Structure 1
Amino acid sequence: MSKHGLIVLIIITGLFYIFLAPRDPLFVSVLFKVIPMIGIILYAYLRIIRTSKVTSFEKVMVVGIIVCAVADAAIAITFIAGLVIFLLGHIVYICGFAMKINWSLKHFSIIIPLLIIGAVYGHLLIQNIQSQEASLIGPVVVYIIVISVMVVMAFLTRNPFAMIGSLLFYLSDAVLAWNMFVESLTYSTVYIMSTYYSAQLLIAHSINKIANKS
């Protein structure tokens, strides 16, 4: 299958999960949820395979996508397990992006607005968690910090696909947390999963481009 055909398949399977896939039994729901991620992993793999040697950066980033796919399945079973595995996925992404960053002070100006947004949202979220699930405050704070660092690192690569992908990942998680701890949102699955699949696909697309950047 061509890469373009695979993208179409990813979109179709993603839309099927969001709008049509059964939510019971759980095994079937998780299976349909993970199928688009398997497609994204394959897409990333096809993009990095070429005549020259696959770089360490590319390997690390593909591992990051795989870890997130595992987290996808886990979070449907237990929130805390999914949170921890997604946390590991972000750490893998951070390690990958760090390999391709040109460390320059002028590039760090992007950190300030991202940190402000993260701090404001985190404060609002933690206020609500405190009144419901106080035991989750620590893990959620750590997660917000780590995903914020991941977004910053993606921006420091200066690759537009990685930048937009990381922001969509952040948005997906923000909507998920808001829906869980603040108020139930109509069509929450549509918002959460459409941004999430788009995020992972854009990050997968960015890998080869970042690796080949001079």
Structure 2
Amino acid sequence: MNHPSHFWATAWRYTLPWVLVASALLAIFSGPNALDAEILRFVFKPLTTVLIIAYAWSRTGDVPRRRTWVLVGLVFSLAGDIALMWPGGFVAGLVAFLLAHLAYLVAFTSTTRLASVWQPWIFYAAVSAALLAQLWPGVPGALQIPVVAYVVCLAAMAAQAATWWLCEGTAPLSREAGYAALGGLLFISSDTLLAINKFLDPLPEASLWVLSTYWAAQWCIATSLKRRPTSS
């Protein structure tokens, strides 16, 4: 006979993705070119990240250090989401997300030494250098140092996530490490689209592509935490 808590945990696990997708869609399609309902964006953009935090919180089977730092990264991401919604909040948002990536970087070193596999670091360094070279003429002088610092932290996070995955091989945690690596790649993709839209050329339906890849990245990073096995 199943315990009531097991029932509610199962219900939560299967309901949360649908609630999260609904919240994300309301946030994405509440911009000036869509529903034109600013209040929806101010409610559902942070709410979507809060739901991902709740999802990560429920995954209690991982090593404490990794779980703690992933949650710290998600909280900093929430702060960044809120900052970016306000006029003049770009630098504050940039700093919040930089701290989020540093937290994820620490999380991904919980069981894997930093840069113990060099190939992902070379790959993401080359990608970051190419991206900066394309965007640099459009980056205002006051933002150049913060943008470089942010790109370095983002690339390091993605590279370490891939390092963790490559080091796991066929180990039991390889699935979770794979989610982390995919999350890092999606974060790079999302921020590349955001940077192109802001510093190079406006993108059609930018909010759709930037936010969908952003929340997919965060979901993958949250899923990199191991779920505690449920007992019957």
Larger radius of gyration: 2
Corresponding residue of 2:126: 116
Q: Distance in 2 between matches of 1:2 and 1:8?
A: 10
Cα gap change, 1:59/1:126 in structure 2, threshold over 3 Å: closer, same or farther? same
Corresponding residue of 2:44: 32
Q: Residue 63 in 1 paired to residue 72 in 2?
A: yes
Q: Distance in 2 between matches of 1:61 and 1:165?
A: 12
From 198, 202, 206, the equivalent of 1:188 is 206
Structure 1 residues 41-66: Cα deviation after superposition (integer angstroms, max 9, x where no partner): 11111112x5xx96122111111111
Corresponding residue of 1:45: 57
From 97, 102, 110, the equivalent of 1:86 is 97
Structure 1 residues 111-139: Cα deviation after superposition (integer angstroms, max 9, x where no partner): 2122111111111111221xxx2111111
SS at match of 2:85: helix
SS at match of 2:55: helix
**TM superposition shift of 1:14:** 0.7
**TM superposition shift of 1:23:** 5.2
Please tell me the residue identity of whatever aligns with 1:108: W
**TM superposition shift of 1:28:** 4.5
Output the TM-score relative to the length of structure 2. Answer: 0.81
Q: Distance in 2 between matches of 1:44 and 1:97?
A: 15
**TM superposition shift of 1:4:** 2.1
Q: Residue 139 in 1 paired to residue 146 in 2?
A: yes
From 92, 97, 107, the equivalent of 1:96 is 107
Bigger shift: residues 178-187 or 12-21: 12-21
Q: Distance in 2 between matches of 1:5 and 1:18?
A: 20
**TM superposition shift of 1:75:** 1.2
Cα gap change, 1:81/1:104 in structure 2, threshold over 3 Å: closer, same or farther? closer
How many residues align? The count is 203
- Whether the 8 Å CA contact 1:18–1:193 is kept in 2: the answer is yes
Contiguous gaps of at least 5 residues in structure 1: none
- Whether the 8 Å CA contact 1:23–1:29 is kept in 2: the answer is no
**TM superposition shift of 1:70:** 1.2
Q: Which structure's residues are more often helix, by fraction?
A: 1
Contiguous gaps of at least 5 residues in structure 2: 1-10, 166-176
Bigger shift: residues 141-150 or 54-63: 54-63
Corresponding residue of 1:149: 156
Q: Residue 126 in 1 paired to residue 136 in 2?
A: yes
RMSD over equivalenced CA pairs, Å: 2.2
Q: Distance in 1 between matches of 2:129 and 2:21?
A: 33
Q: Distance in 2 between matches of 1:103 and 1:90?
A: 14
Q: Percent identity?
A: 28
Output the TM-score relative to the length of structure 1. Answer: 0.87
Cα gap change, 1:28/1:95 in structure 2, threshold over 3 Å: closer, same or farther? same
- Whether the 8 Å CA contact 1:91–1:146 is kept in 2: the answer is yes
From 208, 211, 218, the equivalent of 1:200 is 218
